[in-house]
Amino acid sequence: KSELPVSPDELDADPWLLNAPNGTVDLQTGELGPHRRENLLTKMGGAEYDRGVAAPIWQAVLERVLPNHEIRTFFQRLCGYALTGDTSEHVLPMLYGTGANGKSTVLNALLEAVGDYGMQAAPDLLIAKRSSHPTELADLFGMRFVASIEVEDGRRLAESLVKQLTGGDRVKARRMRQDFWEFPPTHKVFMAVNHKPEIRGTDTAIWRRIRLIPFTETIPPTEQDKKLPEKLKAELPGILAWVVEGCLEWQREGLQAPDEVRRATGQYRSEMDVIGAFLRDECVIGRDYKAPFKVVYDRYEEWCEEGGEKPETRRKFNARLKERGQFIDRRSGPGGSYEWHGLQLLKKQNAEFAGKLKQRSENDHNAPENRASRGDGENNFSSSVTSVEEPPEDRFRGRI
């Protein structure tokens, strides 16, 4: 009997079907139907599907590690969304907690339940690194639920890659010693982190994707059950039914991140916005204010040094300020230096910092190697800084 060839893109292509050992689950209805050859399903879930089966240990674990009911049901909807091949939500769930809080236990149980539809990716999949190989992305082909567990401290998120992998566009990759090819995305990556990765971007394009889910409950050694993974494995049918129920809830209600997740994500964003903190601490914000590029950046460098922060380069700092949409860069006049319009250093800091700049300039001016070349001209660099009036606090507080 002759057979027509089938391309890899045609296999497991229906985003709403889940193959289980005892049949095919329609994820739009939660109903179980018979296996059908024409569905071209090659993957297999990790457990038989029974919509009515319970998973009491799994439920108890979730209530212990996520005691907030709204966060727990949100997490269920996220997992249900991840069970499909749909990628319309464009989100990056980030499970955060400092350790011994059940993140890995929960994700590993979910990976067991979804079987071939899930995978554990490298911890640095979404972390910025000097070089990466396109084979890392090739592993995502056909995957739905992807877990990246335990990112190291001090690492930076690969923001452009996150946007690419959560944006719904086709992914370009290749396997070892093979040509590049493109495939439609079906994956949703869940990051589990003990340390929040650094995010340098301030634009909404990255932050609208992040959903920080706080795992704040630390499980003491007296409560830790070494046999828990084995007990959860016995409940895989119930765990799979819980995920499918989350999928139906997601279709009815959407993801609907609760207030606690929004607050945690907003706090994360504030922690990462070093330049925003500098503006709040050191600057006046208003349309009538202006300051030279050099004065602002030099104060920013000093502020970072005082607080133990690593400053951005001058070029990146200027780009980040411009991204905020509040400030305009202009020349002070024909052939003059560039100024920021829309901000100025606070009056107190203006005087202190201008004095430091003047002293530094005078020291350089009086150095033996500089006297002959500089002459005795007066340095007036600080004059435009010290003359600014400080407005009332309520004109600029809280406007960053």
3-state secondary structure 100-150: CCCHHHHHHHHHHHHHHHEEEECCCCCECCCCCCCHHHHCCCCCCEEEEEE
Residue 394 predicted with pLDDT over 50: no
Across the beta sheet with 31-33, the strand order is 17-20, 23-26, 31-33
pLDDT tens readout for residues 232-281: 999 999 999 999 999 999 999 999 999 999 999 999 999 999 999 999 99
- What dotted CATH number matches 274-395? 1.10.10.10
Residue 320 predicted with pLDDT over 50: yes
DSSP, res 194: S
Residues of the chain with CATH 1.10.10.10: 274-395
As a whole number of angstroms, the distance between CA 209 and CA 201 comes to: 12
The CATH fold of domain 54-270: Rossmann fold (3.40.50)
Cβ-proximal residues to 238 (8 Å cutoff; 6+ apart), any chain: 50, 53, 54, 55, 56, 58
How confident is the model at residue 359, as a pLDDT? 58
Contacts from 200-204 at CB under 8 Å and sequence distance 24+? 200/156, 200/159, 200/272, 200/312, 201/159, 202/273, 202/275, 202/276, 202/320, 202/323, 202/324, 203/323
User: pLDDT-based confidence at 103, cuts 50/70/90?
Assistant: very high
Cα angle: 128, vertex 133, 139; to 5 degrees = 100
Instruction: Render the burial of 260-277: b for 16+ CB within 10 Å, e for the rest.
Output: bbeebbeebbeebbbbeb
DSSP, res 156: B
The helix/strand/coil state of 254 is coil
As a whole number of angstroms, the distance between CA 20 and CA 53 comes to: 15
N- to C-terminal Cα separation, the chain = 70
How many CB atoms are located within 10 Å of the residue 279 CB? 22
How confident is the model at residue 399, as a pLDDT? 34
As a whole number of angstroms, the distance between CA 283 and CA 306 comes to: 16
User: pLDDT-based confidence at 333, cuts 50/70/90?
Assistant: confident
User: pLDDT-based confidence at 349, cuts 50/70/90?
Assistant: low
147 contacts 121 by C-beta, under 8 angstroms: yes
How confident is the model at residue 355, as a pLDDT? 54
Q: How far is CA 159 from CA 18, 166, 192, 197, 219, in A?
A: 31, 11, 17, 11, 32
Q: What is the mean pLDDT of residues 149-172?
A: 89
How many CB atoms are located within 10 Å of the residue 325 CB? 9
Cβ-proximal residues to 92 (8 Å cutoff; 6+ apart), any chain: 126, 162, 166, 189, 191, 209, 210, 211
Across the beta sheet with 118-121, the strand order is 118-121, 145-151, 188-193, 92-96, 210-214
Instruction: State the residue for tokens 């009491």.
Output: 56
Instruction: State the residue for tokens 């452009």.
Output: 160
When mean pLDDT is compared across 15-24, 148-157, 185-194, 282-291, the lowest value belongs to: 148-157
As a whole number of angstroms, the distance between CA 129 and CA 309 comes to: 21
**Could you give phi then psi for residue 212, rounded to 5 degrees?**
-85, 115
| DSSP H or E segment with residue 26 | strand 23-26
pLDDT tens readout for residues 10-27: 999 999 999 999 999 999
How many CB atoms are located within 10 Å of the residue 127 CB? 19
% of residues, the chain, pLDDT over 90: 71
How confident is the model at residue 374, as a pLDDT? 42
User: pLDDT-based confidence at 177, cuts 50/70/90?
Assistant: confident
Average pLDDT, the chain: 87
* Model confidence pTM above 0.95: no
| DSSP H or E segment with residue 249 | helix 236-253
Residues of the chain with CATH 3.40.50.300: 54-270
As a whole number of angstroms, the distance between CA 135 and CA 130 comes to: 16
